[in-house]
Structure 1
C-alpha cells in the first residue's frame, strides 16, 4: 500500500486539504484510496512513532495501526494529513533551528509504516507571512522572541529543510507546493496526493480560490467550467488565472501582520529570499514541485 501524507508545514491549509479529501471519500474509495478521518490516527500515531523510534515497526504493530485507521478493505493507497507530526507551533524554531525535530521525527514516522511505500507532501510559505501566522497559534504564554528562539531570519530557507528530509528519509518521495499558488494548484495537490487521474470527478478543487475571489466571479467561473470543460490541467489553470485576474477580492489578499519588528523592509527582504528559494526548490533533485 502507498501511504501519502501531508506532513506540514503549519499554516499551509492542512485542515482544508483534509476537509476537501473527505468530501471525496466515497468516490476515492471506488478507486482504492482510503481517507481516514484525522481522529482515527492523530492520537495513536505519535504514540507508535515514539515506541518505534529508529527500529522498524513489526508487521503486527503495523497491522494493528492500520486496522485502527482504516474503515475499508483492499485499499491501495491511504491519504493522511497531520501538520503537527514534526512538532507543535511553538517548537518550529526550537533552539534557533528550523523544524529541527524533522531530523528524527520523520524517520520515526517512516519506520512506523516500514513495510509500505510512503510519500511526503509538504506545503511551503513565504516566511514573511508564515512566521506571524504560526506565532498566532502559540498562545498567550509564548512571546514572539521566545518563539523565534534566536533564529537568523535571513538564513531561513525551505530548501534546506527539504534537503534534510531527503537525507533522513531517502526512500520516501517528496512533493512540494507553495501556499501562495494553491488558489490555482489546489486541485492538482489533491489529485497528486490521492493518485487519481484527471477523469475521476473530484470536488473541492476551487475551495482555496473561492477565498480570494468575488462571489460573482466564482459563480461565473463555475458556469464557464461546466460549459467549457478544460481538456488539460494547464488549460484549466489558464482559465482560473483569467477569472482571478478579473474578479480578485483585493481585501481578501491583505494580511494584517502584528508582530514586533515586522516592518516593510523585512517583509520585502524575506519575500525576495523566498522567491529565490522557490526557484531552488523547483530545481532540486528528488523533490517534485507543483508549479502553477
Structure 2
C-alpha cells in the first residue's frame, strides 16, 4: 500500500485541502484511494507515536492500525492528513531548527509501516509570515525569548528536508509553497490522490474563489468553459491574469507584526526563502510543485 502523510507548516491551508479531499472521498474511493476522516486516525497515530518512544512497535501493529483506519474499505492508496505530524506548533523552533522532530517522526512512520511505500506531502511558508503566525498565541515573553534565540534568516526549510533524507533515506517528498496554493490547488489535490492532471475534481478552484471577486470568478469560469483545451500551465497563466484584475486585496496581503522587524529584514528573509525553494528542489527524492 502507498501511504501518504499530508502535513504542512502550521498556519498553512492544510485543513482546506483536507476538506477538498473529503469532498471527493467517494469519487477517489472508486480509484482505490482512501480518504478517512481525521477522527479515525489522528489520536490513534499520536498514541502510537508516543508508544514508540518507549519501545518498538508490536508485531502486527501495522495491520491493526490499517484495519482501524480503513474500517473495511479496500484501497491501494491511503491519505492521512495532520498539521501535527512533525510536532506541535509550540515546538516548531526548538534547537534553532524548523520542526526538529521531523526526521524522527518520519522514522517512526517507516517503523510502523515497514512494508508500505511512504510518501510525505508538505506545504512550506515564508518564515517572514510563518513566524508571526506561529507565535500569534504566544505570550509577549515567549515571543521575545524566541526572537532573541533565533536569527530568522537562518531558519531554512531545506535543512529540515535534508535531515529527513539523511536520516530516513528513500522517502519521497512533495513540497509546495503555501503562497502559491491558489494557483496550484488542483495539482496538489490530484497529486495527493495520485490522479492524472486532467482528472475532474470537485472544488478545484475553492481557494481561488476566496481571493478573487465574484465577478472575476464568473468571468474566469466562462473563459475556461469557452477554452476547454487549455493545458495546466496555460490555465495557471489565465488565473494570474484574472487575479491581476480581480484579486481581493485584503485577502492576499498578510500582516507582519513582530517586535524589532524592519521592512529590510522582511525583504531579506523573503529573498532567502525564495532561494531556499531552489535548494529544496535540488535535494534528491524531493519534488517541488511550482506555479
Q: How many Å separate the matches in 1 of 2:145 and 2:113?
A: 35
Rate the CA distance shift 1:149–1:26 in 2: closer, same or farther, 3 A. Answer: farther
Corresponding residue of 1:175: 174
CA–CA separation in structure 2 for the residues paired with 1:115 and 1:263: 50
- Residue number in structure 2 paired with 1:239: 238
In 1, the alpha carbon distance for the partners of 2:77 and 2:237 equals: 30
Q: Helix, strand or coil for the counterpart of 2:120?
A: strand
Counterpart in the other structure of 1:108: 108
1:74-93 equivalences in 2 (<5 Å)? 74-93=74-93
**1:288 aligned partner:** 287
Q: What stretches of structure 2 of length at least 5 have no aligned partner?
A: none
Correspondence for 2:38: 38
Residues 159-187 of structure 1: per-residue CA shift (max 9 Å, x gap): 11111111122121001101111111111
Q: Deviations over 1:137-172 (max 9, x none)?
A: x45587212445712212111111111111122121
Match of residue 260 from structure 1 = 259
User: CA RMSD for the aligned pairs?
Assistant: 2.0
Counterparts in 2 of 1:204 and 1:168: CA distance versus 1, 3 Å: farther
| Aligned CA distance change for structure 1 residues 188 and 204 (closer, same or farther; 3 Å) | same
Structure 1 distance, partners of 2:51, 2:148, is 29
Q: Is contact 1:166–1:174 with CA below 8 Å preserved after alignment?
A: no
Aligned mates of 1:76, 1:142 — CA distance in 2:
48
Deviation at 1:223, TM superposition (A): 2.3
Gap runs ≥5 in structure 1: none
Instruction: Report the Cα distance in structure 2 between the residues aligned to 1:169 and 1:147, rounded to whole angstroms.
Output: 29
Q: Displacement, 1:26? A: 0.8
User: For structure 1, which segment, 68-77 or 152-161, has the greater mean C-alpha deviation from structure 2 after superposition?
Assistant: 68-77
Partner residue of 1:61? Answer: 61
Q: Which residue of 2 aligns with 1:278?
A: 277
Cα distance between partner residues in 1 of 2:113 and 2:255: 41
Secondary structure of the residue aligned to 2:31 is coil
Q: TM-score, length-normalised on structure 2?
A: 0.93
Change (3 A) 1:200 1:55: farther
